[in-house]
Chain A
């Protein structure tokens, strides 16, 4: 146990180095009292999990997290959001830095060995974002010879390279917003990741970008929980409840309604 903590600390240190741009997590509330719930979200994903300039949080994941936390009996000021970047999500759940994670977190068999999942609460698919006036890219196969953008350490770009377009050139940045800037300027042709994430960027500048709309993978976003969590059934119930009472649709429309990307049908919760 002790070793795990040290490992996590060293890992966090290394991450701080490579992810300096992300600014590190908020560790102001290290007193793990029972009266607060700590939820890991992304801080840098517009429309999904985003820390605003004034310190408030917005996004689909944030609204879903708030809904679930309230359903579990926590008031607004008892909910504390913690920044979880992709690489430290499992670590955070294992060492107790967070109680749950809603951060575009795909349910995979590999991850199931380490953590538990409630949900899925959303099914995303890998898609492509291009400038609004681009007509020659309609799917992953059209990317041959094109300049594609993605984020260092993300799997979607590798998926394209391995399974679709061999002749695609890949520019990797440390954040998606740099990709967006480069596509806007016309230096790069497209960027790829899950459609709902792309929708968040399209929402930021309505009318400038479009999502190709030919998803070619299936990502089941789940609520990450520590292994053996007792709240899992309750959270599954809450997710189903949000589909029925309209909270799920509202969370989507409030955050991504103007992106030009349509809300799909709610997924079926997988009580494995």
Chain B
């Protein structure tokens, strides 16, 4: 158990970084996912095409490639930089960007299936009483759609939390030599090759601590907010 006393604080910091990645990516992917879903069901053809193009492109590209493109393509080739001086901050926000865009396509498709659970008659009724498309979506359709997809949405967010580990391909590190969790796991395994089993367990438990509450909360919330039909 020397490992824990020696590396405990580093492991905690690395999970802190992973948590921050997951937090920001979670917020942005939910927001962007809602926008994409609205695009995909909107009456304007151009918006539908844009929505479909984004979803098909990023849903079908491996996250590793999206992540790689964010740093080497967007940042190194095209000059997009979140921070000119601090390389870790640039890498961090590029990772958030890549994760958000990638995850938002799944959020969008989950939401779209939620929209399909709302009986067509309701949207027609809303139109009949004079609501515009936006009002219809905002007041009638989306609230019900969201409440019916809480559980699958939680699965998407859990998958996203685990996907933060892919950020290691673009080297998301802090200035103080602390890597995000999967990179830290690799470092520790290299230095303590006799304790691989223990290290694996520590990190598996760490990720469970991050993701299990999301699942429990979603289970509770989906019961609490379920739409009675």
Contacts and interface: CB of A to CB of B under 8 A. Distances in A.
A86 B192 CA distance: 11
Contacts of B114: none
A137 to B, nearest CB: 17
Interface of B: 64, 72, 75-77, 86-88, 91, 165, 168-171, 173, 175, 177, 179, 182-183, 185-187, 189-191, 193-194, 196-197, 199-200, 203
A91 B169 contact: no
28 contacts: A10-B200, A14-B185, A14-B196, A17-B165, A17-B182, A18-B165, A18-B168, A18-B189, A20-B64, A87-B193, A87-B196, A152-B168, A152-B171, A153-B186, A154-B190, A169-B87, A169-B88, A169-B175, A170-B173, A171-B87, A171-B88, A172-B171, A174-B183, A181-B72, A182-B72, A182-B76, A185-B76, A188-B87
The 8 closest A-B pairs by CB, nearest first: A11-B196, A153-B187, A153-B190, A153-B186, A172-B171, A152-B183, A14-B200, A90-B193
B196 A172 contact: no
- Contact residues of B: prevailing secondary structure: helix
B168 A15 contact: no
Give the contact-size bracket for chain A. Answer: 35 or more
A1 interface: no
A171 B189 contact: no
A24 B35 CA distance: 40
A161 to B, nearest CB: 6
Interface string A132-155: 000000000000000100001111
Contact of B194 (A90, A147, A182): A90
A89 interface: yes
A21 interface: yes
A155 B186 CA distance: 12
Given A10-B196, A11-B197, A152-B168, 9 more contacts: A7-B197, A14-B196, A19-B186, A21-B169, A87-B193, A91-B196, A114-B194, A147-B87, A155-B190
A114 B87 CA distance: 38
A18 B194 contact: no
A172 B193 contact: no
Contacts of A18: 165, 168, 182, 185-186, 189
Contact of A14 (B72, B86, B88, B189): B189
Interface of A: 7-8, 10-11, 13-15, 17-21, 86-91, 114, 147, 152-155, 157-158, 161, 169-174, 178, 181-182, 185, 187-188
A158 B177 contact: yes
Given A10-B200, A169-B175, A170-B173, A88 B187 contact: no
A18 to B, nearest CB: 5
A185 B72 CA distance: 10
Given A19-B186, A185-B76, A88 B193 contact: yes
Contacts of A21: 64, 169
A25 to B, nearest CB: 15
Given A11-B196, A18-B186, A174 B173 contact: no
A155 B193 CA distance: 14
Q: Which of A14, A114, A158, A172 has the most CB of B within 10 A?
A: A172
B190 A91 contact: no
A155 B188 CA distance: 11
A87 B194 contact: no
Contacts of B86: 169
B95 to A, nearest CB: 13
B168 A174 contact: yes
A15 B200 CA distance: 9
A87 B190 contact: yes
A91 B194 CA distance: 8
Q: Considering residues A153, A173, A178, A182, which has the most beta carbons from chain B within 10 angstroms of its beta carbon?
A: A153
B76 A172 contact: no
A19, A91, A157, A174: residue with the most chain B Cβ atoms closer than 10 Å? A174
